[in-house]
Amino acid sequence: MKRADQKIAKAAELLKTIANSTRLKILLALAQTDALNVSYLQQQLQIEQSVLSHALIQMKDRDILARQRRGKEIYYSLADPAALKMILWAMNRVEG
């Protein structure tokens, strides 16, 4: 596989990761602050803990999110603000 093809495949995987309403909700919530803990995200977004954990891990593994432990709590933040620009672009393209 050519290098360009590899980059395209990786980009497609990255886009697939965020192309999910639950993950988009998480990203938009994190975009409004420096970092949020899992408990706060679960309460604010009304997402089941297992679904939330799975989504957070997927996005962290693809370097979309950064994770930091503070005592017993784990906080997540956007790893790259450029991701937010893409999400906001998509949101602005939708009518309603």
- Could you give the percent of the chain with pLDDT greater than 70? 98
DSSP 3-state assignment of 47?
coil
d(CA 93, CA 32): 20
Write the class of the CATH domain 3-83: mainly alpha
Q: Read off the pLDDT band of 96 (50, 70, 90).
A: low
Segments making up each domain of the chain, as ranges: 3-83
The 10s digit of each residue's pLDDT in 13-32 is 888 999 999 999 999 999 99
Give the residue carrying structure tokens 């997540």: 76
